[in-house]
Amino acid sequence: MTIPSAEGFLQASSCLPCTAEEERELVAALTREAEENVKDGDLRYLVSQSWWLEWQHYVGLVKYEENDMEQLPQAMNRPGEIDNSKLVSAETINGSEEPELQRTLREGQDYTLVPQEVWRRLYEWYKGGPEISRKVILDSRSPGHKNYIVDVYPLCLKLIDGRDNSERNIRISRKAKIHELYSMVCSLMSVEQSEIVIWDYYQKSKSKKLANLNETIDEAQITMDQEILLEIKLDGSSTGFSTRSTNNELALIPLGPSTSSFSIAGGPTYSNGFSSGIGSSFSQDNSFSPLLRDSTDGYNSFSNGTKDDTHGLSGLNNLGNTCFMNSAIQSLVHTPPLVEYFLEDYSREINTENPLGLQGELAIAFGELLRKLWSSGRTSVAPRAFKSKLSRFAPQFSGYNQHDSQELLAFLLDGLHEDLNRVKKKPYIEAKDADGRPDDEFAEECWNYHKARNDSIIVDKFQGQYKSTLVCPVCNKISVTFDPFMYLSLPLPSKVTRMITVTVFSGAGDALPMPFTVTVQKNGNCRDLIKVLTDVCCLKSSETLLLAEVYDRRIYRYLTNPIEGLYNIKDEDILVAYRLPVGHEKLLRLEILHRRADRFAVDPQFNINRKLIGCPLVTCIPNDSTGKSDIYAAVSAVLVPFLRAKAHSPDVSAVKLNGNGPSLDGIVLTDNGTTSEEGLSTSNEDDNAVDDELLPFQLSLTDEKGSVRNPINTDSNRVLGLVMRVLMDWSDREREMYNMDYMDELPEVFKPGFLSKKTRQEAVNLFSCLDAFLKEEPLGPDDMWYCPGCKEHRQASKKLDLWRLPEILVVHLKRFSYSRYMKNKLDTFVNFPIHDLNMSKYVKQTSNCAQQPMYELYAVINHYGGLGGGHYSAYAKLVEEDNWYHFDDSHVSSVKEDEIRTSAAYVLFYRRVGGSSTVADSVPVDIEMVDSLETAPQSKQM
């Protein structure tokens, strides 16, 4: 269908109300026109995602099965008023001020963005609110390309009037210029711009005068909810103090102004069609000055005005759900080789030419943050500059949502490596095969090739090498590769089990449904469940099980993905399994839904609202057997086990149909996917002899919800897709003939009894996690390997071996599991060694092993609580003191060594004993440099 212009629709839709189709086409035309003619300053409106989905269902844009959400009750009805109340803070819903957005919203999950004209039309049709608009902004940092973003979360700043200390909140875009901030403040406070000075007043301290009028708010590193100070000039001069340090001997590298664009929608999803590139560039001179730009993070080199000889015990302020970042940073800044490296002049290794890097800006920001943490005694540090860089280079970590500390750690290590890569121009190296060479020779060649393209402090200290072996199950072809790794992600071999009840139905009509309760691994998958069910229900070799979830008397979804985790299955769910022939995927699946027939059956008004009953039955028929008699025969055959004793002599038509029913044992799949039937009669001229009045029950074609009824044609019936759904009306006659109790009130997956025991998490040790990681296992069906011998994709077996271990061994315990439907966390206690972690058993390298693979723990990232509402902290050891400390955001406290083993341990940091350098060896010299900061002019007024 050709979509008319928006202008034509506006004229045609002047008469309201519109039909659902007219609404859909008009919104499509208006959206297309807005996106084609987008410009700076346009408005986009937020609409509740739940309401938006309901409207899309109403106008026929999407179906429920395409969305991971519970079914809305009135699917086909016109939605009610637009309800954006859940998007805003409760106290602002009825207030006169602009609504304040909730801080954890995500586009596509909580809201969608629509153009202004679309909002106007939706509001005309449905009313509601509140109205929430945001500006479209042209990103001027993308030369030659118009890049637009939507400022969903403008900054909310607290303006403090220095004359009377009064406060008021103002909202302004991160991309606004400083001169726009001055104009806004002058308008609000009725003052002239020449008479005022505005200060960055973070934590009630004058950190920097906002004097560069062409700088953006983001480049000035002003963050959400912070204070800015308005001062009136006296006698032409500001009452403020100079904030620039002019002889900072430690800071050898300038922190250039931010030049990258990023999504400021507040979450990992870009705003409705307005993506933003991630790039970066330095200032024009691109030279390294011995002076630091402004130190604007609230760093202090004094603690209460007294000298503190303790270094490395600075906390990190939480800037709003940044505990995930703080814990990762504290672990890295207490990594001895990194401390030594970044406390020296590392500017010579900054790589601004690497297209895979961030032009050195991430390394600069991290290096300066590390220096501050090692120079400020016990004073906490606000990592605002680092957070600003991180948000630009990795928008997935922006906003106010909790994120995964390990994912951030992986990004930091990779980003630091590319920024510090000593290889300026990476050579092209063609991958080679082992060709029968010894592993030692081939592994060394692969490592040298890797080092020829990747050479940095991160590679030197953090990267190791593993051996990957693939074996083809058909031709036994063996493929060996040697690849680098930065950290080890180890599974938790939990032995915790759960009980799952599944009701098994026969697709051939040879047995009544039977519930089976089986025990499976709690962290297992659907393949494990089907395997156990296959054994307990004595499945034939020619049969297989089709697993499904039943909800509201219909099949909610089929669990066809064998690697889908069992944590997606809730105890209150209802699971069924259908016994079908092997290869049933090539047949037409016949799904039978049930509905009560009553005296109102002839009245369509009552017919539409009748609810489903029982549990769906599933069988298979040949793809070319879709005639009326074929369908009735198949349904009759499946219903045979439900016949009551007195009904075993049904009428002639029932006998005839049952006799013609497709026995699944007789269906044979040929090599080309066609079917042949043994003793199976299909549609013939006898079909016409079937009288509707003599049929044993009433069937009609329907949809997945059972909400429509279409007549079944005599000859053949067209099927869209692989499933044909029929609706069976159950009258008193059918209830007398068949016992429906077996289809009704199916058991839930698990219903705890009075004496049921709660499963307990069993402790595991780090070595069992390593064994689970290194064990041989087959690749998944979605991860097939192309065998060069067979010239086909095969489900090969894979075996990993650790070949070369790094000086710093980072171990990630895989506590979190993610899927389309939910997230899960394992709180299993892992017993890990603190001293003398001996990896000799696991490393396979036999040459160049001058150093024993013995490791000692020096840092731990902890995660407490569940997903979404959890909290991160870190334990870190000061090597020179041989003492452990707990870094919980800004709070730092001493902790005993025997207290750091907890079930919250998430990422472990080990250092090889006898490594090349230690903080104890290098830090004392650098501490003198750090202490010199305390005699330098300060950039803040205490």
Catalytic center residues:
323, 871
Smallest Cα–Cα separation from 274: which of 145, 111, 148, 141? 148
DSSP letter string, 340-375: HHHTS--GGG--SS-TTTTTTHHHHHHHHHHHHHTT
Question: The tokens 């349904």 sit on which residue?
Answer: 635
In what helix (H) or strand (E) does residue 613 lie, and over which residues does it extend?
Answer: strand 612-621
Tabulate helix, strand, coil % of the chain (nearest 5): 25, 25, 50
H or E segment to which residue 804 belongs: strand 797-804
State CA 110 to chain mean position distance: 15
Structure tokens at 518: 């089986």
CB count within 10 Å of CB 528 equals 17
Q: How far is CA 2 from CA 8, 25, 299, in A?
A: 13, 10, 61
User: Which stretches of 511-620 are DSSP H helices?
Assistant: 526-536, 604-609
Q: Which two tokens stand for residue 114?
A: 């629509």
Asked if 769 and 593 touch (Cβ cutoff 8 Å), the reply is: no
Report the candidate in 109, 139, 383, 115 with the shortest Cα–Cα distance to residue 268: 109
| Closest-CA residue to 46 (of 99, 6, 90, 94) | 99
Q: Identify whether the C-beta of residue 257 lies closer than 8 Å to the C-beta of residue 215.
A: yes
CA distances to 548, 727, 745 from 742, rounded to whole Å, are: 17, 18, 8
- Residue 508 CA to residue 545 CA, distance in Å, equals 12
What are the phi and psi torsion angles at 355 (to 5°)? -65, -20
SS3 183: helix
- Non-local (6+) Cβ contacts of 196 within 8 A are 182, 185, 186, 189, 230, 231, 232, 233
Contact 469, 479 (CB under 8 A): yes
User: Under a CB-based contact definition with an 8 Å cutoff, are residues 209 and 240 in contact?
Assistant: yes
> What is the SS3 assignment for 626?
coil
Q: Which residues sit opposite 656 in a β-bridge?
A: none
Which uninterrupted H or E stretch holds 875?
Answer: strand 871-878
The number of beta carbons lying within 10 Å of the beta carbon of residue 320 is 14
Identity (one letter) of the amino acid at 686? D
DSSP, res 854: E
Contacts 24+ apart (CB under 8 A), 769-773: 769/490, 769/491, 769/492, 769/493, 769/813, 769/830, 770/488, 770/490, 770/842, 771/493, 772/490, 772/491, 772/492, 772/493, 773/488, 773/489, 773/490, 773/491, 773/800
Sheet with 514-521: list strands edge to edge: 514-521, 497-506, 574-581, 543-551, 554-558
Residue 644 buriedness (CB in 10 A; 0-12 / 13-18 / 19+): exposed
Cα–Cα distance between 789 and 108 in angstroms, integer?
45
Q: How far apart are CA 727 and CA 698, in angstroms?
A: 8
Identify residue 750 by its one-letter amino acid code: F
- Contact of 486 with 462, CB cutoff 8 Å: yes
